[in-house]
């Protein structure tokens, strides 16, 4: 079974930080839209796992809410931390079932986990709007998108390692993209 990763970059994910809060949430401040180019830096997982593309491009809308960043793209929205030095980090993990346990062969089965981390720094500029209120807009972005993939503790995923399509070259493995972004003009 081929499992495509990089759900943060392409925003094909179901991760949201939602729930019940007993305090008022800060209003989201729009920072602007950015065109992101991602360049493959390293891949120990293998070409049968990733899209095989050394580059990816996508557009995102970025908002800030207190010390959180909200990153919205074509397929969804994710949220992460935002610091006063204009750095941000978004992290998510996902787990999927590959193969059932087989007690006859004392095989515990295989479940896989991916931990993805998208971190970087925004370049922000102050702007004044018609109401004379100062705000900021993003003019650039530098960052890294890393995915770490392995079998879960207690799993036997050795049959997922090999050279056939859909197999990993090694487990655990890691895929890293460098990210650059520029402001989208209206």
For each of the chain's 186 residues, which pLDDT tens digit applies?
444 444 444 333 333 333 333 334 457 888 889 999 999 999 999 876 766 678 889 999 999 988 999 988 765 788 999 998 999 999 989 999 999 999 999 999 999 999 999 999 998 888 776 665 567 888 899 999 999 999 999 999 999 998 888 889 999 999 999 999 999 886
C-alpha separations of 99 from 27, 33, 83, 163 in Å: 44, 41, 41, 19
Cα 58–chain centre separation:
13
Determine the 3-state secondary structure of 85 from DSSP. coil
How many Cα atoms within 13 Å fall on the side-chain side of residue 69? 24
Determine the 3-state secondary structure of 27 from DSSP. coil
Question: What's the CA gap between 78 and 69, in Å, rounded?
Answer: 8
Q: What is the pTM of this model?
A: 0.78
Find tokens 């720094």 and name the residue.
Answer: 121
């Amino acid at each position: 079974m081929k499992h495509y990763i990089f759900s943060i970059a392409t925003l094909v994910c179901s991760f949201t930080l939602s729930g019940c809060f007993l305090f008022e949430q800060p209003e989201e401040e729009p920072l602007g839209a950015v065109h992101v180019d991602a360049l493959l830096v390293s891949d120990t997982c293998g070409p049968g796992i990733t899209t095989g593309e050394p580059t990816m491009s996508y557009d995102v809308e970025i908002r800030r809410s207190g010390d959180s960043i909200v990153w919205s793209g074509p397929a969804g929205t994710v949220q992460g931390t935002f610091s006063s030095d204009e750095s941000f980090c978004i992290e998510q993990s996902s787990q999927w079932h590959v193969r059932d346990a087989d007690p006859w062969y004392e095989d515990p089965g295989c479940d896989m986990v991916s931990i993805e981390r998208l971190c970087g720094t925004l370049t922000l500029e102050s702007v004044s709007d018609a109401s004379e209120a100062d705000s900021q807009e993003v003019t650039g972005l530098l960052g890294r998108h890393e995915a770490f993939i392995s079998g879960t503790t207690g799993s036997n995923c050795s049959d997922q390692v090999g050279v056939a399509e859909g197999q990993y070259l090694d487990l655990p493995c890691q895929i890293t993209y460098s990210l650059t972004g520029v402001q989208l003009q209206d």
